[in-house]
Structure 1
């Protein structure tokens, strides 16, 4: 992807710890007995009843997942699919090229992904692809590369669709004149920093070792999508131009238009903009099926990680194989569900692990099947391995139960129904239709897969799991220690020791290109006023305010209970209290244990997530409208009646300590924790924004302290409920009244966090945190502003920050990423908290450019807006873009709920977003320049750098700032055998 890169395996490793300690609700028992206790006792049977009704006709649920479409094919081979969804004046534009890293031959690894980047560098008639899209109000303008395809997405206002068609067609048909040596060199640098950024993470080298063990040299899925440094260095201009010519013709592409569009309107547009592009060469099919190892294989690698990570891995069939749905459900039951076999046995049962997972990563021609376990500190690894393997052996022997199958299918169907909210982006309806067409010649392939899942039997799943997971396994373990693998040498074909990457002939110029036709961009039609749904308000009998925005696009809703608490509340308690207390909410109530809570959600097709921020503690329910009543009862039990059983507290505390160790071993996490403390000193906002507290404070927390914190902070007089989705107030309020309305506040006064207290001025300096062997430095910086999130009329400041560092086209990102190629991305923001706001920026850069990058940041900020004033183009882009993107920002129920909740938290009027366009139009260039001068100057910045001291420190000594040295926390993993 252009804006983020993590290998799936690295993401899985990180997610294990995050999910293992995901903050969850905290609830306090009511002051008086209420009927919610009776409702809670019945919640499991209610979930069973609701599930029984749904399971009686799974086809009925599958029928709700429907994306009607029309398809046509141009004479040049471009396949176009159109889906009409008039809920908002926006159109999702999704373009898939059926070329990915599996198409790359030896010596050209990383080419598909490199071209994904080059696609954004402009074309014959477009100097910069992002500039007109940003000004047009596009959101989700991005691209990504996988083994099988390269895709591009943007969601634009309806009036900007002709512009999007012009832009996409110009880079499909006339890209090469803009692919110059200079652009190739710059984007090569960006991609190499993207690779460094991924390699720099804990477990960041896992994917290389996984592919090396599972697949032989020459297998198309063996090398990683990011490729090797050597191949990227060797890429010549002639090479990359030939790669484009060979793979990016219209006959190898699928264009999908979804949203406020129909086929009758779309076809003339597509014919006009794409019809004249000549057909390209046919792309040769690739043979890339699963591989069976001749014998079990074991490998261990050391890395700077906090915990031992055990995995079991196989390859499996591709997405068109009949076994694929059964394997996806089977792996979900094994380690994907919250109530999975691995969770129940290893995390909650024997308590040998702090995180587990299992999944089927299904690609076009094969799949990666894997299960993983992060071993609890102090647990003997031999014992962990034995228990790990036993869970799998038992599952293969016995197969799943009917209830497990139903829970997995119900959860999957509920997620798919929720996915119908989004027309574009990487996971919306456009991508679903495009993948079906590209991989299976059937845009409705998703429907066949869901129908197959809905009728799966335990016997079918058992047979598929045994067929594929009884083969020889590749056991790959990562253990804490000094990293010895060098990511810079990995990711390529695999035989570079025998066949080195070719060296480009720098003296050989690329052949001349024929001139491209001159084409002018169409104008963007005016964007209509934002249609914000009507807000209904009510109050429960105990005073809890309720806000409802009814939306009926999908039969689901999002319900959030917010409490005026958050991690800043730890200023009145022990650091880490709020986060650990929240983590306990769904780990057992007075009526249900953790497994019963997880199973009830799965039967209902519901999901309860608990989250915290500096200002707020929140419990969010995503539920099917048909199952709303038992889902609300379950949420109320979790929020109001957590048990804080000592054994469960001890278990979750170990998970929190593991999550803290993970945060401290992740460069960006470590930097953010240090910056918050450096900026806010003794203010409540100095609490770590991840909510994990500190090692000593976590260890000191007791069940009694967590229960006291719950009773103190999660109380009805600090609560508000926000609901967005398919329900009326007449239907909703009685359910909330029964579940939450009889909850009485304790007699003690509600606590008050001192978040409005002033912050003592900080000392500008550089804090260097030594993390040896880091191929990249993470730079974060910031200062506290004399503003709060409730300060009115700060929109000019937000626009000023958009110019400086808030978006992809910002000055900081253009300089350090696009011009210098030192970073994968530089971003800045102005926080919108109830208390003092802060300006912060983040800049991961290659290690040898750390000092130069800080110097460039200071120079860029110092020049803006004095010696380098905001340009008319910049002002028009950020202002028009902010106005035109408003309809895109509220596509989903969750997005709408987030906006309403933020309005309430910051004291904004209900019509804030409706009036925002007019407010932006009233802001002139002078106001934006004034805001930049007041708040975005480099004076007073505190920099935190996480990197290799021996490389970085000499670069910092000429910058004129005091340097403070700290040591990164040591890995805490246990290596018991």
Structure 2
């Protein structure tokens, strides 16, 4: 459970006293831009493969990122969704490495491994130990050059079903059909950007084996790809290995970007209204604009940030804070390679006329276009953007690390260093240039969409087609034409930083680790509170308290507070878990002194402004109503209270009880803050490039004289949970193309126990892609996009939870399969020796990748504290893994999980799902979605 701090206008007196100190000046944005640097070298093989290499020796890992110049914009009519479907096929094995690619990657301890498809590209990426680089390059080259023989009818049918369930999963969300409307509203159907990447069900159904083989031959040659290696590798090594594995792959047809002009007119009506089962109206306005290589790209980026991206944005200040007609707003510029889209939106406050809000939104945009931004607004947005980029550069790979920046530049702009040009262009923006870009494009025709609460409109892809038997894809034998899969050398041990401790004058303990890779400081004030401290019969007290923390301090109202953070490139956030409540800070270290003052003021002297409380309540109450329209939101309001009944953890019921939230007063929030968010309950965690002495001295100035007020709150020990009554709770959510199956059981374990044995055993059951639950329902039966099961680890409990979104017509069979898989795993078909060896190898070899960033280290430090583990826990965990035995982990899991003691929550269309569940042999209780809020908790 996390609460993001919103920037809302307030002013009020503080309930705490603290010494006001002058705010240090922010570092110039030019100096922040200079800190963003990714040195690289590049070379091209004779077959056209472009290779970019960045050396970063901070950890013994290498990010491998392959980007293909093929995306949904290349798809002809009748073949929508092919690029994304092929992304899935390329994960299902190649001629010399058959089977799921996740298997050999897991064995070597790969982290951040995945693939994505969008309009302009398809990419595959993994971060591997340096010793496993040969294997990663063998795998990537085999699927680039030796794939067609591995594409069978069985593999195609399986992955087609998986992709269609990925589509259903997206469609099943509140506002889930908006993406189709926005695309169709802006672009003609024959425009390259005129259909979504996920494609249509009909086109996916029509795909044949020959179709997808031809698609591969036409698009996935080395001359259509960029390979980036970033991390513990140098150019001579990269050249030798890339030539070895990729050099023999012949070039293929060269991808040609299809003509994709920015549309000058809308293809259809200018405004539409759609109905959906949502909690609040959503209004959107979107324009087709130029893409990332256009001269106006940086100006449009800044314009979107100022209008709706900053916490102090124009739309937020006007519609949410001052006029109080919206509960959430946003604006964004999506910069694709050839075109872009610019969108503004608002979630309308319930009871307010959406048309009136739409009119005001247009007026705010028109005023911005006419008069432009202020210099301060431009500087604040650029500073925030550069700050985020600096923090992101700590990771070499994944979804947003250095390899991504280099690959995007190379593929989209012909220059791996394009990221630097873009940052320079951002830093060069002025009010005049931003206004000019906005005026050029936001005065052209735009498409309007309103989503209103009601029964969901019918749509073409809603129907589930008649069941067609699909035979499981048989295992293929390796062709062996390229030799065996490379082995893995000696993987270096984890270099977890030394953890040091100090104490402030008032007793707050400082837990510190130094990471000097990027000039960023991350700090967390962690309070012994969390869900377990929420007020009985007043659930939501903690949530509302956190939502009000940035409503002002003793010196700043919320707009001034948000602006001050933005000038510093700081992110201050609040959140809560089952056992802890946190106030966190991320900031470039050059601005730490100033940002830490804002952060400490929010902890010590929140104003809880009376005048703003009704508005923030409305926002939280709308959030609760939104949870009642979301499959995950509904399940997370019901399952935890059933599994944790009788313990403080049963208070975990989404964002709270709406009756209680409505009745809470300022005095209630102040009382909670004084009882729980106080120095006696705090521990301070910091990871920084700055030395401990400097950090301690700064924190002493900020927090050392802080004293608590009144009596501290007490939790008491977590009581023994009420024994579960196995049953199915069916939450009726009409028009759901999928059902969400969520299950849970008590284990008798606590988070403070040694859970390593059961976690290792669970690796083969539900802990990852290769777990039996996922492999059965996703890969074998293709009824789901992804299934998992894990121990939910709290300090005083560790229930086992299962999550499985499945297509609606397979709900009953999927639940039966889950129950069978779990029963067999703890019974007649326990973990095998290969599964055990894979789990141990993957866990130990992935450690360096798992702790690559300072954020990883900061999280680990907090978990060690929560679970009462030594500071060197992760530095010594390898020998703990290697000391485990297969019988030990098997017996541990059998002792923890009783398959007959699960309670299941199913969120779906009861008219279609209940008949499937009536044969499960468990009582079925039907609960309308609208009745879920407050169930099991009494409001004031």
Q: TM-score range by the shorter chain?
A: over 0.9
Whole-Å Cα distance in 2 between the matches of residues 399 and 34 of structure 1?
39
| 1:673-707 per-position Cα deviation (integer Å, ceiling 9, x unaligned) | 110111122321111254x1111111111111111
Confirm or deny that 1:784 pairs with 2:756.
Answer: no
Whole-Å Cα distance in 1 between the matches of residues 63 and 623 of structure 2?
37
Q: Which segment drifts farther, 840-849 or 830-839?
A: 830-839
Confirm or deny that 1:211 pairs with 2:183.
Answer: yes
Partner of 1:361: 334
Whole-Å Cα distance in 1 between the matches of residues 679 and 552 of structure 2?
21
TM-score norm. by structure 1 comes to: 0.92
Change (3 A) 1:18 1:823: farther
Confirm or deny that 1:244 pairs with 2:208.
Answer: no
- Listed as ranges, the matches of 1:192-271 within 5 Å are 192-271=164-243
Partner of 1:542: 506
Partner of 2:95: 124
Partner of 1:579: 543
Partner of 1:886: 847
Whole-Å Cα distance in 1 between the matches of residues 7 and 610 of structure 2?
19
Whole-Å Cα distance in 1 between the matches of residues 728 and 488 of structure 2?
46
Whole-Å Cα distance in 2 between the matches of residues 680 and 23 of structure 1?
35
Partner of 1:395: 368
Partner of 1:34: 18
Partner of 1:701: 664
Asked if 1 retains the 8 angstrom alpha-carbon contact of 2:462 and 2:737, the reply is: no
Whole-Å Cα distance in 1 between the matches of residues 65 and 408 of structure 2?
10
Whole-Å Cα distance in 2 between the matches of residues 634 and 77 of structure 1?
52
Confirm or deny that 1:816 pairs with 2:777.
Answer: yes
What's the offset of the Cα at 1:872?
A: 2.0
- Listed as ranges, the matches of 1:35-114 within 5 Å are 35=19, 38-39=20-21, 42-43=22-23, 46=24, 49-50=25-26, 53-55=27-29, 58=30, 60-114=31-85
Q: Which of 562, 567, 581 is matched with 2:531 structurally?
A: 567
| 1:322-381 per-position Cα deviation (integer Å, ceiling 9, x unaligned) | 100110011101110001100111111111110000010110010111000011111122
SS in 1 for 2:136: helix
SS in 2 for 1:335: helix
Asked if 2 retains the 8 angstrom alpha-carbon contact of 1:199 and 1:487, the reply is: no
Partner of 1:282: 254
Partner of 1:598: 562
Partner of 2:130: 158
Asked if 2 retains the 8 angstrom alpha-carbon contact of 1:98 and 1:253, the reply is: yes
Whole-Å Cα distance in 1 between the matches of residues 742 and 632 of structure 2?
8
Whole-Å Cα distance in 2 between the matches of residues 186 and 28 of structure 1?
62
Partner of 1:713: 676
Asked if 2 retains the 8 angstrom alpha-carbon contact of 1:567 and 1:579, the reply is: no
Whole-Å Cα distance in 2 between the matches of residues 670 and 872 of structure 1?
39
- Listed as ranges, the matches of 1:966-977 within 5 Å are 966-969=927-930
Change (3 A) 1:865 1:838: closer
Whole-Å Cα distance in 2 between the matches of residues 602 and 859 of structure 1?
53
Confirm or deny that 1:936 pairs with 2:909.
Answer: no
Across the aligned residues of Structure 1 and Structure 2, the Cα RMSD in angstroms comes to: 2.3
| 1:398-441 per-position Cα deviation (integer Å, ceiling 9, x unaligned) | 10000000001111111111111000111010011001000111
Partner of 1:904: 865
- Listed as ranges, the matches of 1:439-454 within 5 Å are 439-454=412-427
What's the offset of the Cα at 1:176?
A: 1.4
| 1:201-229 per-position Cα deviation (integer Å, ceiling 9, x unaligned) | 00000011111111112011111101000
| 1:719-768 per-position Cα deviation (integer Å, ceiling 9, x unaligned) | 010000211111111211111110112352x2221352111101000000
- Listed as ranges, the matches of 1:847-886 within 5 Å are 847-886=808-847
Change (3 A) 1:489 1:693: closer
Q: How many equivalent residue pairs?
A: 922
Partner of 1:133: 105
Change (3 A) 1:514 1:201: closer
SS in 1 for 2:617: helix
Asked if 1 retains the 8 angstrom alpha-carbon contact of 2:528 and 2:580, the reply is: yes
Whole-Å Cα distance in 2 between the matches of residues 310 and 474 of structure 1?
11
SS in 2 for 1:778: strand
- Listed as ranges, the matches of 1:633-648 within 5 Å are 633-648=597-612
What's the offset of the Cα at 1:590?
A: 2.1
What's the offset of the Cα at 1:266?
A: 0.8
Partner of 1:765: 727
Whole-Å Cα distance in 1 between the matches of residues 72 and 358 of structure 2?
34
Whole-Å Cα distance in 1 between the matches of residues 664 and 767 of structure 2?
39
Partner of 1:147: 119
Partner of 1:481: 454
Asked if 1 retains the 8 angstrom alpha-carbon contact of 2:516 and 2:689, the reply is: yes
What's the offset of the Cα at 1:28?
A: 12
Whole-Å Cα distance in 1 between the matches of residues 613 and 463 of structure 2?
42
Change (3 A) 1:240 1:547: same
Whole-Å Cα distance in 2 between the matches of residues 875 and 942 of structure 1?
28
Confirm or deny that 1:916 pairs with 2:889.
Answer: no
- Listed as ranges, the matches of 1:468-867 within 5 Å are 468-486=441-459, 488=461, 517-572=481-536, 574-688=538-652, 690=654, 692-748=655-711, 750-792=712-754, 794-867=755-828
Asked if 1 retains the 8 angstrom alpha-carbon contact of 2:463 and 2:737, the reply is: no
Moved over 6 A (4+): 20-25, 27-31, 513-516
Whole-Å Cα distance in 2 between the matches of residues 19 and 307 of structure 1?
20
Confirm or deny that 1:423 pairs with 2:396.
Answer: yes
| 1:820-864 per-position Cα deviation (integer Å, ceiling 9, x unaligned) | 000000001102211111100100000110010110011111111
Asked if 2 retains the 8 angstrom alpha-carbon contact of 1:777 and 1:945, the reply is: yes
Asked if 2 retains the 8 angstrom alpha-carbon contact of 1:665 and 1:971, the reply is: no
Asked if 2 retains the 8 angstrom alpha-carbon contact of 1:636 and 1:740, the reply is: yes
Asked if 2 retains the 8 angstrom alpha-carbon contact of 1:864 and 1:932, the reply is: no
Whole-Å Cα distance in 1 between the matches of residues 13 and 777 of structure 2?
49
Asked if 1 retains the 8 angstrom alpha-carbon contact of 2:864 and 2:873, the reply is: yes
Change (3 A) 1:154 1:821: same
What's the offset of the Cα at 1:99?
A: 0.3
What's the offset of the Cα at 1:941?
A: 0.3
SS in 2 for 1:559: strand
Confirm or deny that 1:299 pairs with 2:263.
Answer: no
Q: Which segment drifts farther, 897-906 or 587-596?
A: 587-596
Q: Which runs of 5+ in 2 are unaligned?
A: 471-476, 934-940
Whole-Å Cα distance in 2 between the matches of residues 28 and 939 of structure 1?
56
Asked if 1 retains the 8 angstrom alpha-carbon contact of 2:13 and 2:554, the reply is: no
Asked if 2 retains the 8 angstrom alpha-carbon contact of 1:685 and 1:755, the reply is: no
What's the offset of the Cα at 1:383?
A: 2.4
Asked if 2 retains the 8 angstrom alpha-carbon contact of 1:779 and 1:843, the reply is: yes
SS in 2 for 1:151: strand
Q: Which of 407, 423, 432 is matched with 2:405 structurally?
A: 432
Asked if 2 retains the 8 angstrom alpha-carbon contact of 1:24 and 1:609, the reply is: no
Partner of 2:917: 956
TM-score norm. by structure 2 comes to: 0.95
Change (3 A) 1:970 1:201: farther
Change (3 A) 1:77 1:371: same
What's the offset of the Cα at 1:76?
A: 0.6
Change (3 A) 1:930 1:514: closer
